[in-house]
Amino acid sequence: MDYTAKLDAALGRLHDEGRYRTFIDIERVKGQFPHAVWTRPDGTQRDITVWCGNDYLGMGQHPVVLAAMHEAIDATGAGSGGTRNISGTTVYHKRLEAELADLHGKEAALLFTSAYVANDATLSTLPKLFPGLIIYSDELNHASMIEGVRRNGGAKRIFRHNDVAHLRELLAADDPDAPKLIAFESVYSMDGDFGPIEEICDLADEFGALTYLDEVHAVGMYGPRGGGVAERDRLMHRVDIINGTLAKAFGVMGGYIAASAKMCDAIRSYAPGFIFTSSLPPAVAAGAAASVAFLKRAPELRERHQTQARILKTRFKAMGLPIIDHGTHIVPVIVGDPKHTKILSDMLLEHYGIYVQPINFPTVPRGTERLRFTPSPVHGPKEIDGLVRAMDALWSHCALNRAELAG
Ligand SMILES: Cc1ncc(COP(=O)(O)O)c(C=O)c1O
């Protein structure tokens, strides 16, 4: 077997389709987000503005978070030194879990090294706890949920995106006595649309199913205390398991589930993805706890975030750019072709110092390739003006279609 030729062929396929991923080497500058320094492959550098980060609220540079991390690292050192079971549970981990349980109004929370691992580990473990479990999964669920459902070896049904009538059909077709779980998201990050939480909880009640909600793109940003869309809509008590990340709006690293004490205890005891891996560094847990606690009392930051998103959408719409607007903080501009998307992204970076990563298949369906902008409270009027001017010029330069302007 010529292994190198196989690797060349696999990589060649991606190049041919224009979806080979190039990582941009950036160094963020503390205190100056969203500004960063880009190092080109030839070693030269350029100042850029990051427009596609998921540090949605700028908490990655917040003094409260940094102070907590410095304090913990000085007090306790770098790594945790073990798995949670073998010497890796510290006061910092326990404090963070308590903070998260409180955030979601649940009895308990369980930390993982990322939300990806939390989804994968939890969903792949649930059939061990509920033999015969059928998982109903939204077709646009994140890869981490798809992987967890796929690996668990149990039965699965995929319902059309946000289609509660289809979900009902699937639930009604199965054995009424079979254990069931519905897995979905509150904010789908590529289109920026909301999941129908209340309708899905109603169906879960009717069919005796558990609910599993990924709030990764909502925690910190929605709800009076940043508990997510379920908190905003007063539905947290109706969701059995809430999944969240500490790496996006909370600005640090790690993931978790929040649920009943018994559910967390069972996942803690059975999920290999929780058991057989080192726990988060204590300083990371300390920074995340400080961020969660801070955001519980920072509704003004959430409001500023939403305002920035509204301003950017309004300005893009006024220029006739084809954006998707479902009322969330995410601003996708559809280009519809992987090569054009890459060219636009390259030109924005090289000519305007604006960094937005092209989003291609399989992350989004073919033909809907896009630039996905994530305005934040640290993007000021100067940054927004610069972006709007650059997009206007490039859209004309590339002769891309604009929507009919009203009036
Ligand atoms: C919906 C969703 N769930 C889970 C994750 C994983 O989060 P983390 O970065 O903490 O692994 C992501 C990451 O982008 C996501 O978009």
Cβ of 114 less than 6 Å from ligand 1: yes
What are residue 60's phi and psi, to 5 degrees? -65, -15
The answer to whether the CB of 48 falls within 8 A of the CB of 386 is: no
pLDDT level of residue 180 (50, 70, 90 thresholds): very high
Cβ of 216 less than 6 Å from ligand 1: yes
Mean of the pLDDT values across residues 70-93? 97
pLDDT > 70: percent of the chain: 99
Say if residue 381's pLDDT is above 60.
Answer: yes
Q: What is the pLDDT of residues 43-53, one digit of tens each?
A: 999 999 999 99
Q: Which of 52, 116, 243 should be mutated for ligand 1, with most atoms under 8 A from CB?
A: 116
Amino acid 407: pLDDT: 35
Mean of the pLDDT values across residues 274-299? 98
Buried b (16+ CB within 10 A) or exposed e, 327-350: ebbbbbbbbebbeebbbbbebbbe
Amino acid 20: pLDDT: 84
Cβ of 212 less than 6 Å from ligand 1: no
pLDDT > 90: percent of the chain: 91
CA of 273 to the centre of ligand 1 (A): 15
Say if residue 402's pLDDT is above 90.
Answer: no
The answer to whether the CB of 184 falls within 8 A of the CB of 239 is: no
d(CA 359, CA 372): 7
CA of 217 to the centre of ligand 1 (A): 8
What number of other Cβ atoms are within 10 A of residue 109's Cβ? 22
Say if residue 95's pLDDT is above 90.
Answer: yes
Amino acid 17: pLDDT: 79
Q: Which of 56, 140, 142 should be mutated for ligand 1, with most atoms under 8 A from CB?
A: 142
Mean of the pLDDT values across residues 132-136? 97
CA of 89 to the centre of ligand 1 (A): 24
Q: Which of 106, 156, 180, 248 is catalytic?
A: 248
| Residues whose CB falls within 8 Å of the CB of residue 188, separated by 6 or more in sequence, listed in order | 140, 161, 194, 195, 217
Residue 187 alpha carbon, nearest atom of ligand 1: 1
What are residue 211's phi and psi, to 5 degrees? -120, 140
Cβ of 245 less than 6 Å from ligand 1: yes
Round the average pLDDT of the chain to a whole number and report it. Answer: 95
Q: Ligand 1, atom 1: nearest CA belongs to which residue?
A: 142
pLDDT level of residue 406 (50, 70, 90 thresholds): very low
CA of 216 to the centre of ligand 1 (A): 6
Q: Ligand 1, atom 13: nearest CA belongs to which residue?
A: 116
Say if residue 102's pLDDT is above 60.
Answer: yes
Mean of the pLDDT values across residues 107-123? 98
Say if residue 404's pLDDT is above 70.
Answer: no
Mean of the pLDDT values across residues 273-289? 98
Residue 188 alpha carbon, nearest atom of ligand 1: 1
CA of 133 to the centre of ligand 1 (A): 24
Residue 246 alpha carbon, nearest atom of ligand 1: 10
The answer to whether the CB of 167 falls within 8 A of the CB of 203 is: yes
CA of 255 to the centre of ligand 1 (A): 8
Please name every residue paired with 228 in a beta bridge, in sequence order, or none if there are none.
Answer: none
Buried b (16+ CB within 10 A) or exposed e, 213-226: bbbbbbbbbbbebb
Mean of the pLDDT values across residues 121-128? 97
3 state SS for the chain: CCHHHHHHHHHHHHHHCCCCCCCCCEEECCCCCCEEEEECCCCCEEEEEECCCCCCCCHHHCHHHHHHHHHHHHHHCCCCCCECCCCCCCHHHHHHHHHHHHHHCCCEEEEECCHHHHHHHHHHHHHHHCCCCEEEEECCCCHHHHHHHHHCCCEEEEECCCCHHHHHHHHHHCCCCCCEEEEEECEECCCCEECCHHHHHHHHHHHCEEEEEECCCCCCCCCCCCCCHHHHCCCHHHCCEEEEECCCCCCCCCEEEEECHHHHHHHHHHCHHHHCCECCCHHHHHHHHHHHHHHHCCHHHHHHHHHHHHHHHHHHHHCCCCECCCCCCCEEEECCCHHHHHHHHHHHHHHHCEECCEECCCCCCCCCCEEEECCCCCCCHHHHHHHHHHHHHHHHHCCCCCCCCCC
Is 317 annotated as catalytic? no
Rg over CA atoms, the chain = 22
Please name every residue paired with 184 in a beta bridge, in sequence order, or none if there are none.
Answer: 213
